[in-house]
Amino acid sequence: MTGFQPVIGLDLGGTKIDAALVAADGTILARHRVPTPAGEGSAAVLDAMASTVSAVLGQGGTATAIGVAAAGVIDPVTGMVTSATDTIRGWAGTALAAGLAARTGLPVACDNDVRAAAATELTRAEGPDASLLYLAVGTGVGGAVAVAGRVLTGAAGIAGHLGHLPSPEAAGLPCTCGATGHLEGIAAGPGIAAQYARVTGTVPGPLQRVAARAELGDAHAIAAITLGARAAGRVLGGLANAFGPHRVVVAGGVPRIGALYRNALRDAFATELMSPLRELRLTPTAPRVGHDAAVLGAATLTRTVPLHTPSTTGVSR
């Protein structure tokens, strides 16, 4: 990491803030977690992030920089949240890097949480020029694209938001971004649960309830789960044809609901592939990373994207 000294990796989500002191070899030396004050506005969230950093350092460590893996569309060059849902009130337009640097006195690098997690997967890739597709399916659908060993950020930090690709299975369905017909509307956990509710005339419940009913043989639950999985698989297969990745990684809570989802995802993905990619397989996230993917990826940001200094205006590198 930066200067071969420990750095802070901070994972900001809609419900919790995870922070870890990470050594240069990726060892986690200390950690702390607090709830995200998502309903209190961006200033309160930045304050909570700074408090979490202080708690980690209070366990006896020092750090040279902070890397933040955050929800929303994050532009690592400007350090701004360029777009976001209302999961965190007032998050869009937040000066994330400058605000946290001013509160902590440390340089801050930031990026989208899924892209940060995907960066850890590049260490498993086939050489420095490897390409990667990364899909994360949970309460939303996120992703990342890496080409020639580098995770793409794109204009305004938009690259990799795979959940907002058009999906025929989601035609006419609302998306959290305000558009209709996007993959997230049918493939994310709430999207699958909503599909089950539509066909059964019931009130939407949690995905876990739909998965439990599918295990009992409920045909509507089985259909909703496989529809969402097929939609995600078709999008991934099409992207694989476009980018020719060496690896395709699938992460998130939804793929863990069972073999029904994973098999439908795998089959739809394989069906879309052009013949030169027929041997390409979907792979899970690295076991050694597990739930620490975001904080480890966040720590890696301190050496891969611009560091924003505590002056709130300066950017190093």
Task: Reply yes or no on whether the pLDDT at 191 is more than 70.
Answer: yes
Q: According to the model, what pLDDT value does residue 304 have?
A: 84
Collapsing DSSP states into helix, strand and coil, what is residue 92?
A: coil
Alpha-carbon gap, residue 310 to 136, rounded angstroms? 32
For 127-287, CATH gives 3.30.420.40
> Helix or strand or coil: residue 34?
strand
User: Residue 302: helix, strand or coil by DSSP?
Assistant: coil
248 backbone dihedrals φ, ψ, rounded to 5° = -130, 120
Structural tokens at position 180 = 């209709």
Specify the higher pLDDT residue, 289 or 51.
Answer: 51
d(CA 232, CA 222): 16
| Cα distance between residue 97 and residue 188, in whole Å | 29
Residues 6+ apart with CB under 8 A from 244: 131, 276, 277
Q: How far apart are CA 289 and CA 127, in angstroms?
A: 19
Alpha carbon 23 to its chain's center: 22
Pairing outcome for strands 7-12 and 28-35:
unpaired
Question: Which CATH code fits 2-117+291-316?
Answer: 3.30.420.40
Q: What is the mean pLDDT of residues 108-120?
A: 89
Q: What pLDDT is stored for residue 83 in this prediction?
A: 87
Specify the DSSP class assigned to residue 217. T
Task: Tell me the one-letter amino acid at 185.
Answer: G
- Both tokens of residue 100? 């946290």
Quick one: tokens of 295? 């904080």
Residue-wise pLDDT tens digits, 13-24: 888 999 999 998
pLDDT class of 195 with cuts at 50, 70, 90: very high
Give the domain ranges of the chain: 2-117+291-316, 127-287
- Measured distance CA(249)–CA(111) in Å, rounded: 19
> By the 8 A CB rule, do 97 and 108 touch?
yes
How much of the chain, in percent, has pLDDT values that exceed 90? 69
Residue 1's pLDDT is what? Answer: 44
Task: State the Cα–Cα distance between residues 71 and 18, nearest whole angstrom.
Answer: 13
203-212: average pLDDT: 94
Three-class SS state of 304: coil
User: What's the rounded Cα separation, in Å, for the pair 90 and 130?
Assistant: 37
Most confident by average pLDDT, 11-15, 139-143, 167-171, 295-299: 167-171
- Asked if 143 and 257 count as a contact pair (C-beta separation under 8 A), the reply is no
Higher pLDDT pick, 122 / 33: 33
Token pair of 194, please? Answer: 């909503």
pLDDT confidence band for 255 (50 / 70 / 90): very high
Look at residue 286 in the predicted model and tell me its pLDDT.
62
User: Token pair of 2, please?
Assistant: 């930066």
Q: What angle (nearest 5°) sits at the alpha carbon of residue 284, between those of residues 228 and 301? A: 105
CA R_g for the chain: 19
Same fold, 2-117+291-316 and 127-287: yes
Average predicted confidence (pLDDT) for the chain: 90
Q: What is the pLDDT of residue 289?
A: 57
194: confidence class by pLDDT, cuts 50, 70, 90? very high
Has residue 143 got a pLDDT over 90? yes
Q: What is the pLDDT of residue 2?
A: 45
Instruction: List phi, psi (to 5°) of 125.
Output: -75, 165
Among 117, 118, 123, 91, smallest CA distance to 25 is for 123
User: For residue 164, is pLDDT > 90?
Assistant: yes
Q: How far apart are CA 50 and CA 17, in angstroms?
A: 10
Structure tokens at 20: 């870890």
> Which parts of 148-207 are beta strand (E)?
150-151
- Identify the pLDDT of residue 60: 84
Q: How confident is the model at residue 72 (pLDDT cuts 50, 70, 90)?
A: confident
